[in-house]
């Protein structure tokens, strides 16, 4: 397996699309911190004790002005280094990266008819499949780590760390990266399964965004429809989108939501991967 892993990593490292992705992630990480962050703070009038007066001067009632003051104060705290990554749009960026990795390592192998040569060169399809999955997961982790490092370092240099401890937030950031990586790996496993049937790069990408939109709509409906029911949380957090709302928060402890969502995530990942592996092992790759 080591040889296959190294070959797949080498392929990805030489892919120009990933080089561009690294540059895009760096640029978006930088502009997430400055100067867009500063302009937003200035436009919303965050100036300490004068904030409530400014909101009331806009014609808002006092209660709503106080709520807006508290909200903007919380947003101001997110600019510090220890909170900058959790307040970023990493999950949105990964919506574009995840299908790219699947296209490179799976879908394009079918469209370019190179998968047959790979299978002939190796004895086990299981090794080929698992090697590709491991490499996809590794690069998802690498991009999360890279983006988190860029944002955290720039925010810390610009605004300071903002927390009394150094180690605790770093551990929380790392655990957040792990959770995000596993979540994206689950989405990638779904795309891998679809790619074994579709065998078209463009169609796979369209299915990815279409399915993501449909799932988000269903998740929102489930969240609204199950409100007030005893088992409402169980139904709600069976949807990955709703679970993502929780796991993408830095430093959240273990709750009922995490347990239900975590089980849903693990089961989905196992089902997609095992089904995709079964299909790949028995698929006729000569046509």
Which helix or strand (DSSP H or E) is residue 59 part of?
A: none
What is the rounded CA–CA span in Å between residue 203 and residue 184?
20
In the DSSP assignment, the letter for residue 239 is S
Strand, coil or helix: what is 193?
Answer: helix
Of how many residues is the chain composed? 287
Report the distance separating Cα 275 and Cα 269, nearest Å.
Answer: 10
Domain residue spans of the chain: 2-28+90-282, 34-77
Q: What is the pTM of this model?
A: 0.81
Report whether 101 contacts 133 (CB < 8 A).
Answer: no
Q: Going by C-beta distance under 8 Å and a sequence separation of 6 or more, which residues neighbour residue 7?
A: none
Q: Judge residue 25's burial from the number of C-beta atoms within 10 Å of its C-beta, 0-12 exposed, 13-18 middle, 19 or more buried.
A: buried
Per-residue model confidence (pLDDT) at position 201: 92
How much is the pLDDT for 179? 84
What pLDDT does residue 103 have? 94
The DSSP call for residue 105 is I
Residue with tokens 């200035």: 42
Give pLDDT, residue 144: 93
Tens of each residue's pLDDT in the chain, 287 residues: 788 888 888 888 888 899 899 999 998 888 877 765 555 555 555 444 344 445 455 555 566 556 656 555 555 666 788 888 887 777 788 889 999 999 999 999 888 888 888 888 876 899 999 999 999 999 999 999 999 999 999 889 888 888 888 898 899 899 889 888 988 999 999 999 999 998 889 999 999 999 888 887 887 787 777 766 656 666 666 677 666 665 666 555 556 666 777 777 888 899 999 999 999 999 887 65
């Amino acid at each position: 397996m080591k040889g296959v892993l190294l070959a797949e990593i080498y392929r990805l490292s030489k892919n120009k699309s990933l080089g561009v992705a690294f540059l895009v992630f760096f640029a978006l990480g930088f502009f997430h911190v400055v100067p867009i962050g500063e302009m937003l703070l200035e436009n919303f009038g965050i100036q300490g004790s004068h904030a409530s007066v400014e909101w009331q001067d806009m014609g808002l009632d006092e209660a709503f002005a106080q709520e807006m003051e508290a909200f903007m104060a919380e947003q101001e705290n997110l600019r510090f280094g220890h909170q900058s990554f959790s307040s970023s749009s990493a999950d949105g960026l990964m919506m574009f990266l995840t299908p790219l990795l699947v296209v490179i390592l799976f879908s394009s192998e079918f469209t370019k008819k190179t998968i047959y040569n790979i299978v002939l060169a190796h004895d086990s399809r299981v090794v080929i499949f698992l090697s590709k999955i491991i490499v996809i997961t590794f690069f998802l982790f690498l991009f999360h780590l890279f983006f988190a490092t860029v944002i955290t370092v720039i925010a810390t240099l610009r605004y300071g760390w903002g927390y009394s401890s150094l180690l605790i937030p770093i551990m929380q950031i790392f655990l957040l990266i792990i959770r995000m990586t596993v979540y994206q790996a689950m989405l990638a496993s779904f795309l891998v399964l679809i790619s074994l049937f579709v065998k078209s790069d463009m169609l796979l990408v369209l299915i990815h965004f279409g399915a993501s939109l449909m799932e988000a709509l269903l998740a929102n409906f489930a969240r609204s429809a199950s409100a007030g029911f005893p088992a409402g949380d169980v139904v709600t957090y069976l949807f990955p989108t709703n679970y993502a709302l929780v796991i993408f928060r830095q430093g959240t402890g273990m709750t009922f939501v995490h347990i239900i969502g975590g089980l849903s995530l693990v089961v989905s990942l196992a089902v997609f991967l095992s089904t995709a592996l079964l299909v790949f092992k028995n698929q006729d790759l000569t046509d």
